[in-house]
């Protein structure tokens, strides 16, 4: 077995993911074992329905009892083992109460009702665990971004492939064009541009030369690089982000904490009261301990009556119904209680690149520089056609923006000569309308080599006033400035305008302050924090989360902040796998205007959930106290329970409406 396979096992065991994706399992086994507890619960629900039909149609009840025995085996025994483990640790919670009620129902000759309680609780517990596994998968996906192997440069200048976990500090490794940087390091040979938008949020490829640092997870765009490793795989940028995600997830406020605390207190009180009632009822009402009207019978009836289905499913069903309704709109939630959390948030923070903007560059202006009044004017469309002809085969974001801007131009420019100066610019000879032109396109420092001293001073004055990404084109003696900006999403404008009325809006971006302020000014966002590293974003998110924070982002560098925020929202199409897994909400179609719809749905869901809980607690009082006093038979108490569950379900249907 190769090293790579062993490291896959290590990563899996460290991730805490569900067993269904274990590398030990065959593909077919993984498919069957995915969400196995939930599948088992629904299978048992199917068996229970058959049992009800058999019992109430007076068919062979032995078959019904056989099916019930399978139900208690599949969902009852695991619940009983968990309850015993909790009792061993001196912990009393809602699961012990439900397990106790489910099994004691057999003693009262009500196994159907007991099985229903166990099944509903199993479904709720399985859904909660499924959500937990999805959150942990952020770390597993992040591990898959960086390569597991790298080419080490040996002393004799040859190359050998080695696992990154075996590469020590100061080792020299080769990174070819198009490859992902496997480890953090310092460039000792070569020049290139790297794409690190998902790590830092920078929308432009960043040039890297000798002595510059490169980080694990970035993409080497064009040139080859030899780097000296400065951090091992355990301390690399990717590993650091994984650690931050873990810390942020642990620190994240859990809405379920109140429910867990309530469940422990409630369960303890009900169980203690049941034992007390079993002892004192015969003295109070002059009844026997045993028998159908005895104290033990009434105490058990009280225990079961205090665990109605409506209380179990009231709030979860409201949230699940809302989740289903939101999913039809292209909004996926990883948990129902996220709706409660988002409703209380006062702050909404946006990443810029890929979130408020599309992440694609557009040519926002294309102007000729006139050094004096004698400067002739060159036809703008011809100039754009020339630029497009030279950049046509390039995959660089700037080249794509030029090509998009020139798509409707009818001029046809033919390339006669072409040369690329990697990382600086390109030059060539173009022919258009039977006339040849010497053309240079690139950065300012590249173009300045072909300008006179007075022209250099003039162009530097103009550039100092610019706040966006620039490129320059020299056609013979005609100079053009090409200004590029990150394209703002059309639906960003309406969303920001609406949210400003009730929320505090912030932009958190790793991009430079010029680009960040340009976008913020266009949208009307006043609070802007730019040039942020991963740790900086997390620090701001932690501070803002004190008053409730909704964080919207799409990159790997957003993942810790998305996890730390009260509610993290990621984009499904452009978002990185890590950001998606670290978030609580996924916008499948990248339609951020749906955030306002989500906020409204959250408020309505909370209202429905509260109604259900109040109604369920009312049923507890109406069913448990009369059962304790012997005023109503057990079957009537159970009917009240089931009736309340139906009414709770009908109330939840109101959430399906838009």
Judging by beta carbons within 10 Å of its beta carbon (0-12, 13-18, 19+), is residue 640 exposed, middle or buried?
A: buried
Whether residues 587 and 492 share a domain: the answer is: yes
Find residue 437's DSSP bridge partners.
430
Which DSSP letter does residue 377 get? P
Q: Are 585 and 333 in contact (CB under 8 A)?
A: yes
Cα 636 vs. chain centroid, distance in angstroms? Answer: 46
Judging by beta carbons within 10 Å of its beta carbon (0-12, 13-18, 19+), is residue 433 exposed, middle or buried?
A: exposed
Whether residues 471 and 506 share a domain: the answer is: no
pLDDT, mean of residues 431-456:
85
φ, ψ for residue 404 (rounded to 5)? -65, -40
Angle, in degrees to the nearest 10, between helices 111-143 and 94-107 = 150
pLDDT of residue 6: 41
pLDDT of residue 135: 46
**Backbone CA torsion sign across 383, 385, 386, 391:** positive
233, 260, 289 - which closes a domain: 233
pLDDT, mean of residues 514-539:
88
Long-range contact set of residues 63-70: C-beta below 8 Å, sequence gap at least 24: 65/111, 68/111, 68/112, 68/115, 70/44
pLDDT, mean of residues 325-337:
77
Taking the C-alpha atoms of residue 423 and residue 446, their distance in angstroms, rounded to an integer, is 10
Active-site residue, selected from the candidate residues 125, 184, 351, 554: 351
DSSP for 483-510, please give it.
Answer: EEEEEEPHHHHHHHHHHTTTSEEEEE-S
Q: Note whether residue 126 is domain-resident.
A: no
Whether residues 432 and 576 share a domain: the answer is: no
**Segment 539-579, tens digit of pLDDT:** 999 999 988 999 998 877 788 888 889 999 988 665 556 66
Query: In which band, very low, low, confident or very high, does the pLDDT at 354 lie, cut at 50, 70 and 90?
Result: confident
Taking the C-alpha atoms of residue 401 and residue 84, their distance in angstroms, rounded to an integer, is 65
Element (H, E) at 123: helix 111-143
More confident residue, 83 or 637: 83
Domain that holds residue 432: 362-485
Q: Note whether residue 123 is domain-resident.
A: no
For 183, residues 6+ apart whose C-beta sits below 8 A from its C-beta are 146, 150, 164, 167, 173, 216, 227, 229, 231, 232, 233, 236
Q: Which of 303, 307, 302, 299 is nearest to 276 (CA)?
A: 299
pLDDT of residue 310: 67
Query: In which band, very low, low, confident or very high, does the pLDDT at 185 lie, cut at 50, 70 and 90?
Result: very high
- Has residue 360 got a pLDDT over 50? yes
Whether residues 378 and 397 share a domain: the answer is: yes
Taking the C-alpha atoms of residue 557 and residue 564, their distance in angstroms, rounded to an integer, is 13
Instruction: Return the CATH number at 528.
Output: 3.40.50.1000
For 418, residues 6+ apart whose C-beta sits below 8 A from its C-beta are 390, 426, 427, 428
Residue the block writes with tokens 């009260």: 566
Whether residues 203 and 169 share a domain: the answer is: yes
Judging by beta carbons within 10 Å of its beta carbon (0-12, 13-18, 19+), is residue 201 exposed, middle or buried?
A: buried
468, 485, 502 - which closes a domain: 485
Residue the block writes with tokens 């492939």: 161
Query: In which band, very low, low, confident or very high, does the pLDDT at 503 lie, cut at 50, 70 and 90?
Result: very high
520-541 per-residue burial string, b: 16 or more CB within 10 A, e: under 16: beebebeebbbebebebbbebb
HSE-CB of 564 using CA atoms within 13 angstroms: 28
More confident residue, 473 or 234: 473
Whether residues 496 and 350 share a domain: the answer is: yes
Taking the C-alpha atoms of residue 48 and residue 441, their distance in angstroms, rounded to an integer, is 74
Tokens representing 478 are 């005609």
Q: Are 557 and 196 in contact (CB under 8 A)?
A: no
Residue the block writes with tokens 């640092």: 213
- Has residue 500 got a pLDDT over 80? yes
Whether residues 476 and 494 share a domain: the answer is: no
pLDDT, mean of residues 425-434:
87
pLDDT of residue 7: 41
Tokens representing 186 are 């310092």
Q: Which of 301, 321, 305 is nearest to 313 (CA)?
A: 321
Whether residues 478 and 511 share a domain: the answer is: no
- Has residue 152 got a pLDDT over 90? yes
Query: In which band, very low, low, confident or very high, does the pLDDT at 405 lie, cut at 50, 70 and 90?
Result: confident
Whether residues 470 and 370 share a domain: the answer is: yes
Q: Note whether residue 271 is domain-resident.
A: no
Whether residues 510 and 480 share a domain: the answer is: no
Q: Are 171 and 160 in contact (CB under 8 A)?
A: no
Taking the C-alpha atoms of residue 355 and residue 574, their distance in angstroms, rounded to an integer, is 9
Q: Note whether residue 311 is domain-resident.
A: no
Radius of gyration of the chain (CA): 33
* Angstrom distances, CA of residue 444 to CA of 356, 393, 455: 29, 22, 12
Q: Which of 609, 617, 605 is nearest to 644 (CA)?
A: 617
| Highest mean pLDDT pick, 222-231, 254-263, 365-374 | 222-231
Q: Is the pTM of this model over 0.85?
A: no
Query: In which band, very low, low, confident or very high, does the pLDDT at 268 lie, cut at 50, 70 and 90?
Result: confident
pLDDT of residue 534: 83
φ, ψ for residue 124 (rounded to 5)? -60, -45
**Segment 8-40, tens digit of pLDDT:** 455 554 444 555 555 555 666 666 667 778 888
Element (H, E) at 244: helix 237-251
Judging by beta carbons within 10 Å of its beta carbon (0-12, 13-18, 19+), is residue 35 exposed, middle or buried?
A: middle
Number of domains in the chain: 4
Query: In which band, very low, low, confident or very high, does the pLDDT at 587 lie, cut at 50, 70 and 90?
Result: confident
Q: Are 599 and 566 in contact (CB under 8 A)?
A: no
Query: Is 584 a residue of the active site?
Result: no
Whether residues 454 and 516 share a domain: the answer is: no
Taking the C-alpha atoms of residue 237 and residue 244, their distance in angstroms, rounded to an integer, is 11
Q: Note whether residue 194 is domain-resident.
A: yes
pLDDT of residue 252: 41
Q: Note whether residue 8 is domain-resident.
A: yes
pLDDT of residue 456: 80
- Has residue 172 got a pLDDT over 90? yes
- Has residue 49 got a pLDDT over 60? yes
More confident residue, 572 or 355: 355
pLDDT, mean of residues 234-263:
57
202, 233, 264 - which closes a domain: 233
Q: Note whether residue 114 is domain-resident.
A: no
Q: Are 574 and 354 in contact (CB under 8 A)?
A: yes
Query: In which band, very low, low, confident or very high, does the pLDDT at 255 lie, cut at 50, 70 and 90?
Result: very low
Which DSSP letter does residue 450 get? G
Residue the block writes with tokens 């020049």: 191
Whether residues 542 and 481 share a domain: the answer is: no
Instruction: Return the CATH number at 221.
Output: 2.70.150.10
Tokens representing 181 are 């940087």
Q: Note whether residue 62 is domain-resident.
A: no
More confident residue, 647 or 144: 647
């Amino acid at each position: 077995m190769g090293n790579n396979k062993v490291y896959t096992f290590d990563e899996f065991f460290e991730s805490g993911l569900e067993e269904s994706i274990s590398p030990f399992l065959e593909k077919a086994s993984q498919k069957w074992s995915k969400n196995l507890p939930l599948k088992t619960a629904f299978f048992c629900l199917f068996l229970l329905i058959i049992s009800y039909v058999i019992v109430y149609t007076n068919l062979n009840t032995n078959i019904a009892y056989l099916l019930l025995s399978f139900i208690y085996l599949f969902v009852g025994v695991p619940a009983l083992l968990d309850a015993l483990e909790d009792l061993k640790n001196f912990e009393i919670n809602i699961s012990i109460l439900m397990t106790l009620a489910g099994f004691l129902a057999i003693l009262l000759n009500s196994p159907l009702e007991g099985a229903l309680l166990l099944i509903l609780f199993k479904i709720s517990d399985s859904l909660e665990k499924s959500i937990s596994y999805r959150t942990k998968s952020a770390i597993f996906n992040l591990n898959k971004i960086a390569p597991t192997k790298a080419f080490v440069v040996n002393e004799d200048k040859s190359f050998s492939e080695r696992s990154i976990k075996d590469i020590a500090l100061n080792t020299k490794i080769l990174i070819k064009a198009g490859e992902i940087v496997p480890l953090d390091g310092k460039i000792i040979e070569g020049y290139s541009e790297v794409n690190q938008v998902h790590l830092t949020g920078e929308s432009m490829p960043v040039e890297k030369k000798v002595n510059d640092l490169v980080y694990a997870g970035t993409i080497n765009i064009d040139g080859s690089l030899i780097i000296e490793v400065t951090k091992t795989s355990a301390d690399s940028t990717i590993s650091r982000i994984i650690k931050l995600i873990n810390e942020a997830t642990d620190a994240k406020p859990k809405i379920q904490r109140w429910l867990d605390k309530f469940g422990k207190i409630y369960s303890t009180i009900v169980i203690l009261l049941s034992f007390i009632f079993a002892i004192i009822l015969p003295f109070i009402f002059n009844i026997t301990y045993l028998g159908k009207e005895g104290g033990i019978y009434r105490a058990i009836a009280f225990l079961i009556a205090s665990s109605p289905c409506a209380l179990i499913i009231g709030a979860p069903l409201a949230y699940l119904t809302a989740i289903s309704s939101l999913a039809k709109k292209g909004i996926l939630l990883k948990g129902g209680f996220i709706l409660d959390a988002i409703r209380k948030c006062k702050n909404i923070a946006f990443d810029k690149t890929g979130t408020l903007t599309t992440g694609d560059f557009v040519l926002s202006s294309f102007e000729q520089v006139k050094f004096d009044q004698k400067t002739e004017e060159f036809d703008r469309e011809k100039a754009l056609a020339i630029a497009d002809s030279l950049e046509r085969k390039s995959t660089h974001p700037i080249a794509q923006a030029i090509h998009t801007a020139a798509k409707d131009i009818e001029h046809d420019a033919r390339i006669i000569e072409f040369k690329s100066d990697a990382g600086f610019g390109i030059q060539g000879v173009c022919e258009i309308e039977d006339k040849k032109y010497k053309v240079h396109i690139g950065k300012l420092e590249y173009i300045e080599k072909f300008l006179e001293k007075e022209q250099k001073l003039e162009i530097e004055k103009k550039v100092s006033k610019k706040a966006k990404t620039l490129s320059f084109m020299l056609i013979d003696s005609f100079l053009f400035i090409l200004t590029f900006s990150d394209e703002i999403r059309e639906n960003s404008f309406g969303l920001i305008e609406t949210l400003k009325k009730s929320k505090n809006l912030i932009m958190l971006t790793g991009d430079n302050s010029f680009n960040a302020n340009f976008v913020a000014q266009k949208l009307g966002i006043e609070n802007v924090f730019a040039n942020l590293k991963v740790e900086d974003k997390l620090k701001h998110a932690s501070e803002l989360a004190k008053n409730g924070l909704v964080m919207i982002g799409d990159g790997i560098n957003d993942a810790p902040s998305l996890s730390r925020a009260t509610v993290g929202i990621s984009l499904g199409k452009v978002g990185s796998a890590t950001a998606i897994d670290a978030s609580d909400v996924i916008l499948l179609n990248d339609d951020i205007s749906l955030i306002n719809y989500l906020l409204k749905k959250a408020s309505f869901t909370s209202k429905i959930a509260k109604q259900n809980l109040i109604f369920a607690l009312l049923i507890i009082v109406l069913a448990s106290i009369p059962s304790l006093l012997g005023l109503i038979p057990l079957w009537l108490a159970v009917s009240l329970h089931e009736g309340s569950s139906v009414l709770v379900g009908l109330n939840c249907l109101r959430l399906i409406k838009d």
